[in-house]
Amino acid sequence: MSELKVSEVSKSFGEKKVLQSVSFSVKEGEFVSLLGPSGSGKSTLFHLIGGLYTPDEGELYLGGENINGKRGKISYTPQSPSLFPWRTVLDNVVLGEELHAKPNKERASAMLERAGLADYVNAYPHQLSGGMRQRAAFVRSLLSPQPFICLDEPFSALDEFTRLDMQKWLLSIWEENRKSVLFVTHNIEEAIYLSERVLVLSSNPATVKREFTIPFERPRREELVLTEEFLDWKKQIYHELRSEA
C-alpha cells in the first residue's frame, strides 16, 4: 500500500507562512507532478513528507499510516545526485536499501544494467557524467525498500538534451516498476510529459491552486511533446501559473 494523502497541511517558519492548507493525494502506481515557481515551498513540502519537519496543522498519511514527522517512509532522489564519492556506483545505489536491510547487489547490478550503466558498476561517481550520476541517484531510490518515491527537481541541473533523454529514460524504467511517484519541477513540459496529474502550486504561502489530469496514454512517445494537444495543455497550465501575477 503506497497511497500518499496530504490533508490540510500548513507550515510556518517564524512569521512566514510557507504552506497554507495543502491537500492532495497520490494513488498507488500513479505519477504526480507538483509544479510551482521557485521558492513556492515545494521543498518544504518534501521535507514534511520525508519527516524532517512536522506540520503545524494537518496530517500526512502513507498507505493509511500517519507519517507526521516520521523519517525513512519514502525513498528520495534529491536535486543534486548526492552520491558518495568514496563508494563505487554499485555501492552507492544500494545505500538506501542498506540503511534498512542487507543489500541485494545482484538485483542492483541488474538494475544498473537496465539503466544503461553496465560499464560503470564499479566506477566512482567522479568518473560519470551529470546525467549518469542522476540516473544512479534514481536507481538508488528504486532499489530502496520504500514503495513511494519523491523526486526533487532531479533534472534541473542538466542541459536540455540530457534532460529530454533523462525524461524518456525515467518513464521507461518507471513503467517497469510502477512505484508511486511524486515529482517536483518548475518545468511545465516535463510535468505534462511525465505525469498522470499535474498539481499547480501558488506561492506565498503555497497552496494547491488547481489540478490537471493529463489524459495521454502510456507508454508515451517522445513526439508527444510536439502535438497540438500537448501544446494546448501547456498553454492552459502556463496561464494558470501566471494568473496570480
Partner 1 sequence: MEVEGTASGSTLMIMKKIVEQGWRPVLVVILLLILWEASSRLFAIPAWLLPSPLTIMEEGLSSWSNYAHHLVSTTKLSIVGFVIGTSIGLLIAVLLHLMPHVRQAFYPLLILSQNIPIIVLAPLLIIWFGFGVLPKLFIITLVCFFPVAVAALDGFRQTNAEMKHYMYMAGASKRQVFSKLELPHALPTVFSGLKISATYSVMGAVISEWLGANKGIGVYMTLAQSSFRTDRVFVAIFFIMLLCLLFFSFIIALERFCIKGQPGQEAKS
Name the minimum Å distance from CB 175 to partner 1: 24
Name the minimum Å distance from CB 131 to partner 1: 17
Q: Does 55 bind partner 1 (CB under 8 A)?
A: no
Long-range (24+ apart) CB contacts under 8 A made by 11-16 are: 11/41, 11/44, 11/48, 11/53, 11/55, 11/56, 12/56, 12/205, 16/205
74's grid cell = 519514502
Round to whole Å and give the CA distance between 186 and 184: 7
Per the DSSP assignment, residues forming a β-bridge with 185 are 35
Total residues in contact with partner 1, by rule CB under 8 A: 31
Encoded one letter per residue, x for contact with partner 1 by CB under 8 A and - for no contact, window 204-223 reads --------------------
Q: Which of residues 107-126 bind partner 1 (CB under 8 A)?
A: 124-126
The single residue among 58, 63, 72, 116 that binds partner 1, judged by CB under 8 A, is 72
Q: Does 74 bind partner 1 (CB under 8 A)?
A: yes
- Specify whether the CB–CB gap between 170 and 138 falls below 8 A: yes
Q: Which of 78/168 has CB closer to partner 1?
A: 78
Using the contact rule CB under 8 A, the part of the chain among 4-12, 54-62, 94-102, 154-162 near partner 1 is 94-102
Q: Does 100 bind partner 1 (CB under 8 A)?
A: yes
Round to whole Å and give the CA distance between 217 and 185: 21
Distances (CA, A) of 236 to 19, 103, 119, 180: 24, 45, 43, 25
Q: Which of 36/50 has CB closer to partner 1?
A: 50
The single residue among 68, 82, 204, 207 that binds partner 1, judged by CB under 8 A, is 82
Q: Does 99 bind partner 1 (CB under 8 A)?
A: yes
Length of the chain: 245
Strand extents, DSSP E, 45-147: 57-62, 65-66, 75-77
Q: Which of 13/84 has CB closer to partner 1?
A: 84
Q: Does 76 bind partner 1 (CB under 8 A)?
A: yes
Query: 159: buried, middle or exposed (CB in 10 Å: 19+, 13-18, 0-12)?
Result: exposed
In the complex, which residues of this chain contact partner 1 (CB under 8 A)? 46-47, 50-52, 71-76, 78-80, 82, 84-88, 95-96, 98-100, 124-127, 144, 150
